[in-house]
Amino acid sequence: MLGGAALLVLGAAFWGLSRAGLRGVPGDIHYQSGNVRVYFPIVTCLLLSLLVTGLLWLWRWLSSR
């Protein structure tokens, strides 16, 4: 339940940031043609992966001391 709540808060934060004008980082793929709109946040995914990996590494390092 805590994981679901965390995902809910994260989703709301990303939604709020996109409504405020932050629509990803340079390198994300945007395609729009007629009725088709595709957005693939490849660079955002890579940055989030690096951030989460760093936080997990830090948590493990601090908990082993």
Read off the pLDDT of residues 32-47 as tens digits, 9 standing for 90 and up. Answer: 999 999 988 888 889 8
Q: The domain containing residue 36 runs over which residues?
A: 2-63
- Say what the pLDDT of residue 51 is: 93
| 24 has a pLDDT exceeding 80 | no
| 54 has a pLDDT exceeding 80 | yes
Q: How many CA atoms lie within 13 A of 28 on its CB side?
A: 14
- Say what the pLDDT of residue 53 is: 97
The pTM (predicted TM-score) of the whole model is: 0.61
Report the number of distinct structural domains present in the chain. Answer: 1
- Say what the pLDDT of residue 21 is: 74
- Say what the pLDDT of residue 36 is: 94
Question: Residue 26 and residue 30: Cα distance in Å, rounded?
Answer: 10
